Amino acid sequence: MEAKTLTNLQILEEAIKQNSSFQLLLFTMKNGQPEPLGETAIKKNVQSVTICNAWEIEDDSYLLAGVMPTDDPRIAQT
């Protein structure tokens, strides 16, 4: 929740625009290089992805499942 840049979000948003589905998978570091763990792949349809600002999430929303207790989301003051 404290990303230094928006690069990963921008990559995800571009993938959603260009594709109807994509795969999420875990990587591990091996000899200093990222190596995908193919058996962890999860296929997602872009319609199942919700991107929103933290302050837009209601207290009873299922989207809170994506916020961990250790996260410190930055909520804009209005």
Per-residue model confidence as pLDDT tens digits over 7-48 = 988 988 898 899 998 888 899 999 999 999 878 888 889 998
Residue 7: enclosing H or E segment and its boundaries? helix 7-18
19: three-class secondary structure by DSSP = coil
Residue 55 lies in a domain: yes
Residue 74 lies in a domain: no
Residue 19 has a pLDDT of 92
User: Is 50 exceeded by the pLDDT of residue 1?
Assistant: no
pTM comes to 0.52
Residue 14 lies in a domain: yes
Residue 22 has a pLDDT of 83
Task: Give the number of other CB atoms < 10 A from CB of residue 15.
Answer: 14
Residue 75 has a pLDDT of 67
Q: How many domains are there within the chain?
A: 1
Residue 41 lies in a domain: yes
Residue 53 has a pLDDT of 80
**Enclosing domain of residue 43:** 7-65
